[in-house]
Structure formats: structure tokens, C-alpha cells
Chain A
């Protein structure tokens, strides 16, 4: 079913002196099972864009908004069905924990969706296993967990709804390197296990090239680039001009080319660089 959006525009506080044109004329087609990363300078409209995907924000204007078979432009879309299909993990999601036990917190989402009894217990336990929370934390207060564990509990609270589209807004911000790898592995595991669509906002280019099948670049509310990581990073000057960083490998390639090498600029993954160098030099 996927996601199909045409000419989405979002203005905050329209008609007031504080009006902000946050997203402008964005078209977006995403098919089932894609792993998409959204990048862009701060304030470029990434969060605003993705919050439309489960109706947390409503378009100021749009020609088409069809998400997982639900038409969001009709008068009363089925919000509950939409939110069950599209899960959303916000930045610093651990700040949304509130229940007395980790179990109850993770159960909050599915319970609101009408899941009960054994099915609920199974959904909670499944997602705890998926994010790697040990079973003995189940009856602990969320506030007793460590920072990394809290983040995982919060993500489990979204995964327990079994969303077909998982949207994550900077899910690894503020974690140490191992914590980051853990979370990325969780997302990857969910992706490969359920074939869900993943849409992730991230600032870490190295992670993006290693996980994403597609990269969307936002700039001042517009979608300026959209394609595979190889395509997007094959024009490093453009990326730098948009105020973004390059993946480490692209930086190395750039540096080597400046010194006389001829490596294609589209090489942005470690494996590709190693392959190119070993084959090329052999």
C-alpha cells in the first residue's frame, strides 16, 4: 500500500506574524518495506514532514495524502487505524515514559488500540525481546532503568503496536556509540523481521549509508534530493553546500581524489571502498 503524498505544504501559525512555512510542496512516494533516511540541516522541516505521516500534523494544503490505504484528505480519516499502522518514535522518547512499570508502559499503545489479554502480554514480551530488555525489568519502574534501557523501553512501547510503517525522529540522538549501535540493530531487526517500512531522521551520515536503501534530503522546507545513498552522496559539493556533512568514506574518497586518485564519488560505504581499492590496485 505504501505512502503517496503530493504537494504537501505545512505552515505553522498561518496568518499570524509568526507564520513559518515549514514544509513546501513536497511529493513523496514510499513503497512497502523501504528503509528511508531523511536528512537535512536543522530547521529544514524534517520533523514537520514526518509528523504528517500519522496525522499528528495536518497539511495546510496537499493534493494527495494516502498513507497505508487511508486517505488523509477526507473529512474524518480513521485516526486510530492510521496510528496503529504508522508508529512514531520521537526524539528522546524516554521522556514519554509514565506508567508504574515497564510492562504497563509498553502495553499503553496496544491497549489504546484495543488489544487485550494474552495477545497484549505476547505483544509486550515480543517487543521487549526485540529491543533486548531483560525479562526481569518487566516489573521495574521505568525510572529505575539506565538511560539506554529507557530509550529501548520507549521504542518497545511503539513496536508493541506492530506498526507497518515505523517513523523515527533522531532515535539515536544523545546515546553513546554502543547505545547507538544497539538501537540501530533493533530497528534493523524489526525491519527484516516484519518487512515494515522504516523512515528515519538522522544526522549521522555514516549510519545512514550503512542502513538506508534510500536517502531524502530536505532543505528549507523543500525536498531537494531523493535517491540511493550512492546517488545522493555522488555530488559531495552539493551536500556540503546544503550545510550537511559527508560520510567518512566519502570524505576519504574526496581527499584521495584531490591527491590524484580516480575513485568514483558514489563510493560511500566502507565495503565498496575496500572492494574498489583491492580490485582496482590488484
Chain B
């Protein structure tokens, strides 16, 4: 099958890519919790260092990291402005009508914006360095304890991986049908709305038909190979933790410890400030 960019996966070899997906999922969840818990710029700076260090170790170019921010430019701006003008503490720097620009407001806005940037780029790291298949494998493994509560962990993971498997196939198919209809004069990018709608129909109908056909074929093939759900099923690729996973866990723990220490130091200093 043809290599395709699926999701955001950035296919290179790096120590981060080689980590067990469970380690990465849990680390990202912990990091997000830390970003939320941390209340100081110092703590956020530590998180930023962490994100930068991981992206460096994972050979993810900075431009790629930035591109994951594209989706939230507007949100970022909105958050910033909201915080700047609604937080009225500290010295007033600038005034215009009812709008007050205060030092506290700016601080607060910067803090929130930085937090948002870190959350998004941090989550981006997971999808850049972990292929969707690894991700579902990791999730299934992490959800296994829930099976005791009759939670259909295997089925959900299977559905996810089938859906993921089909994305490139359907993209390729869309591309093919689109070309075939373009060759017959269908115009997807210009022309009247009515004409364009006609072009879209000529793309959607064959696509839908083929999706159903493929689903049917897949169901048949799975049945023919006696697929009967997750029970007693072994895996081709067994997930195993390695020494590098311990290293990664240690780094995340160190970050957590630093942020905890940072918080308590601040808390112990607080009376001094107020007094």
C-alpha cells in the first residue's frame, strides 16, 4: 500500500517514536494535568522546556510544531483579549473609555495563552510521534482493566483501527473518482453552485457505494477467518515496556516533582507578599 500522511504522524526514527505507546499516552495525560495544575510562569517554563526537549528528541521540526497551532489561532487571540480586559489587577498602564489595560491583566493573559499553546503542542507531540495503529493498540491495552466492568475495550479498539485503516483507502478512492469525474468535465472548484453540487454528487455516490462494498467484503473476510471478538485473541505485535520507557517515566516524574516544589515554594512565600 502507498505511504500516506495519515492524521499527523511524522514518520521518522527517533527515541520518542520508539517508546511504548502506553508510556506516551500516560505521559501526555500527566503533562496536561501538570499544565493545568501549575500556577506559576516558572512551572510553565518547565513544561515548555519539556515540550521542546521532547520535540527535539523526536526529530519534529519546529515548523511542524507550530503548524499544530494553526487550528487555534483564533481561540488564542480570543483568550488573550478576554483575559487582558477582564482581569483588572495591578497597575493601570493604559486607559481608553471603559477599557483598562493593567499589568495584572497582561500577566494573566500571557499565562493563559502560554498554557493553551503548551496544551496543544504537547498533545500534538503524541500524534506526531505515534502512528494511529500504535495509538489504538496502546488505548486498548490501557482500557483492558475496564473489560471487567463489561466495557467493550477490544471492540472499540478494533472499530478504531478499522476506521483508521480505511481513511487512506477512502482518500485514495476519493482522489481517483474525483479525477475520473474531472476528466468528464465535472468542475469542483468553480462554476455555479448548481453545477458544483452536481459535481459533488458525482463524487459522493460512487464513494458511498464503494465504502459499503468494502465494508461488506471486510466483514465477509473477517468471518471467513473466524473472527469472534477479542476473547483468547493473541497479538502479532505485543506491547512491551523497555528501559527507555522507564527513562521517559522518570523525566515526567521529575517534571511533576519540579512543578509541585515550585507550587509549594510559592505558597510558602505568599504570606511575605501579602504582608
Contact = CB atoms under 8 A, between A and B. Distances in A.
Contacts of B3: 18
B180 A90 contact: yes
A182 B63 CA distance: 54
Contact of A17 (B12, B173, B177): B12
Which secondary structure dominates where chain B touches chain A? helix
Contacts of A54: 183
B202 A158 contact: no
Interface string B150-190: 00000000000000000000000100110111111111000
A96 B199 CA distance: 12
B185 A83 contact: yes
Question: A17, A18, A80, A96 — which one has the most chain B CB atoms within 10 A of its CB?
Answer: A96
Given A95-B210, A96-B206, A97-B206, A80 B183 contact: no
A161 interface: yes
Which bracket fits the contact residues of B? 20 to 34
A93 B180 contact: yes
Contact of A88 (B10, B177, B180): B180
Interface string A15-39: 0111000000000000000000000
Interface in B1-54: 3-5, 10-12
A87 B10 CA distance: 38
B200 to A, nearest CB: 11
Contacts of A143: 209
B82 interface: no
Interface in A66-117: 80, 83-84, 87-88, 90, 93, 95-98, 108-109, 111-113
Contacts of B201: 98
Nearest to A88: B183
B182 A108 contact: no
Contacts, number: 65
A80 B185 contact: yes
Given A95-B206, A98-B202, A158 B185 contact: no
A87 B182 CA distance: 10
B205 interface: yes
Given A112-B184, A112-B185, 9 more contacts: A16-B5, A56-B182, A80-B185, A95-B209, A97-B206, A98-B205, A113-B185, A157-B184, A158-B183
Interface of A: 13, 16-18, 51, 54, 56, 80, 83-84, 87-88, 90, 93, 95-98, 108-109, 111-113, 143, 157-158, 161
24 contacts: A17-B10, A17-B11, A18-B3, A56-B179, A56-B182, A83-B182, A83-B183, A83-B185, A90-B176, A90-B183, A93-B180, A95-B176, A95-B210, A96-B177, A96-B206, A97-B206, A98-B206, A98-B209, A108-B185, A108-B202, A112-B186, A158-B184, A161-B184, A161-B185
